[in-house]
Structure 1
Amino acid sequence: MGILNDKQLEDIRILQQECEREDFTLKLNWETLRSRNGVNKNDFLHYDGLKLVGFLGLYDFGSKVEMCGMVHPEFRRQGIFTKLLDDAIRSAMERNYKSIILNSPAQSHSGTGFLKQLPCEFAFSEFQMKWSGTELDDYEDAVVRPSRREDEETEIQLDIQCFQFTEKEARDYYQRILHEDTLKTMMIEKDGCPVGKIRVDQSGREAWIYGFSILPEYQGKGLGRKVLKKVVAEQCQLGYDIFLEVEATNEHALRLYESCGFKTIQRQDYYQYKGLQR
């Protein structure tokens, strides 16, 4: 019911390329698109004949859902995205999400212009950063290993304590990413105990770092810096371009990433949808 086939995935990729010619990058979460479990309809597509000209995807995190979509430049102002959004919001309301977040690249004039017409308000920005190839050292003693099923509770607590997930959101998210084949979770150890995690999604020539977190009592001791350097060095040796995302308000994380050679390449803006009426 809700699994994208290979033809649809290819159509989405082609449409994304057409839209990104306007010099911005859409956040379509490809690791999620490729690993939908089929339980719910999370992807809404609009075809003109055999050509995909509109797409909108839902990405759920417990009681909240994020939405991101696009319309081919030659097919805008025809009500296509409005219809996709109406269908997506109706689906979200039927599933009783408490919060709907709409995402648009800051550089997308069509995207931000459309959102200004909706009952929504700006919530936060997120920087997308790329590693610049800076020389790295002093990370050899950092201990990072693949996650195991017995790490489940630690992973859940890290999302609760470091990313303010509710327990339900953290447990639902943990179960969802188990199906994302390209996303690898690694645990950070200190004195033989798991105290943090870092996730890497490898796709094409790109490696994206996600969910980097360390338990509060182990923060501020230099462990995160060493782990980040180690993971970046490993991905570099494998030949990947390395990226990550961070909220604009997280100044501590921004300074850490910049000191390890990451530079901001673009901004994604998020808006809270205010039209949830039941």
Structure 2
Amino acid sequence: MLNKKQLDDIESLQQRCEQEDFTLKLNWETLRSRNGVMKNDFFHYVGVKLVGFLGLYDFGNKVEMCGMVHPDFRRQGVFTDLMDEALRTALQRDYKLIILNTPAQSHSGQGFMKQLPCEFSFSEYQMKWSNMELDNYEDVVVRPSNRDDAETEIQLDVHCFKFSEKEARDYYQRVQYEDTLKTMMIEKDGRAVGKIRVDHSGGEAWIYGFAIFPEYQGKGLGRKVLKKIVAEQRQLGYDIFLEVEATNDYALRLYESCGFKTIQRQDYYQYKKLEG
């Protein structure tokens, strides 16, 4: 479990690194809810000053990594040491996939990826909602999730995000402990057919995990749901953001049609395990 000083140090280092005009994806909702059972966070201090950090984010059989180094301490082996320790940990746990994340605009991050045995996998776009008129969403039914929805949420991740059954069940259990995350179920004709999650952190609303069973897609339901959630969050006074993979062209067009514009891009690389 991370203590207050560690969280404050990570936040201060992130703010310094982001002065270079990019945004790091450190998954703050996860950092704040670490349970301390496994070591997932790696620190490099110089005296009392945190100059390097790397976090592991577990998703069942997959793990994602994202980190940073203070600009004044780069090219001194700090991130190499952090990465070596994190990779040893990940390899010992025998994850099926090890994914490394860096902002597309980070020259140092992109340069570091070229030194590793990894290959580009996909890009993820962060989008921000800009004011536009929203209508034609009043008849859609969206309600808070409850324990009876567990199997539906799990199957939505399997069918829509290509999770394995184990990954989906592990992920469902993990998000139950994220206090800032709220899951809503989407209903059609009295049946739960989709879900959407909203995370409130730092005075912002982030939309995650938007999924509708394939047989209910392409009928305008997703657009109505998105408009309804955006309208509710706007009324509450939040700036509204979301993330989407570039491989999902339909979702990208859907979000753009509802007033979202791209502000940042994150690139993901798959680590290639070395033999021997």
2:63 maps to 65
1:252 match:
250
Q: Give the CA deviation at 1:275.
A: 3.0
Kindly indicate whether the alpha-carbon contact (under 8 Å) linking 1:93 and 1:276 is maintained by their aligned counterparts in 2: no
Q: Which runs of 5+ in 2 are unaligned?
A: none
Match of 1:197 in 2: 195
Q: Give 1:142's match in structure 2, choosing from 135, 140, 143.
A: 140
- Superposed CA deviations along residues 232-262 of structure 1, whole A, max 9, x for unmatched, are 0111111111111111121100110000000
Q: Using the TM superposition, name which of 254-263 and 89-98 deviates more.
A: 89-98
Shift of 1:277: 3.8
Partner Cα separation in structure 2 for residue 57 and residue 204 of structure 1? 19
Q: CA–CA distance in 2 between the matches of 1:30 and 1:122?
A: 24
Say what the alpha-carbon RMSD is for the aligned residues.
0.8
Code of the residue aligned with 1:143 in structure 2: it is V
Q: Distance in 1 between matches of 2:61 and 2:273?
A: 16
- TM-score normalised over the length of structure 2: 0.98
For structure 1, the residue ranges without an aligned partner over 5 or more in a row are none
Task: Classify 1:220/1:166 alpha carbon distance in 2 versus 1 (closer, same or farther; 3 Å).
Answer: same
Shift of 1:276: 4.4
- Residue matched to 1:262: 260
- From 38, 52, 59, the counterpart of 2:50: 52
Q: Which amino acid aligns with 1:220?
A: G
SS of residue in 2 equivalent to 1:97: coil
TM-score, L = length of structure 1: 0.98
Tell me if the contact between 1:62 and 1:172 (Cα under 8 Å) persists in the aligned partners.
Answer: yes
May I ask how many residue pairs the two structures share in their alignment?
276
The Cα offsets for residues 142-175 of structure 1, whole Å up to 9 and x where unpaired, read as: 1111110010000000000000000000000001
Distance 2:133 2:274 in 1: 49
Structure 1 segments (4+ residues) deviating >4 Å: none
Provide the C-alpha distance between the structure 2 equivalents of 1:260 and 1:140, rounded to a whole number of angstroms.
Answer: 15
Q: Tell me which amino acid in the other structure corresponds to 2:262.
A: T
Residue 39 of structure 1 and its aligned partner are, at CA, apart by: 1.5
Amino acid across the alignment from 1:236: R
CA distance in structure 2 between the partners assigned to 1:195 and 1:260 by the alignment: 21
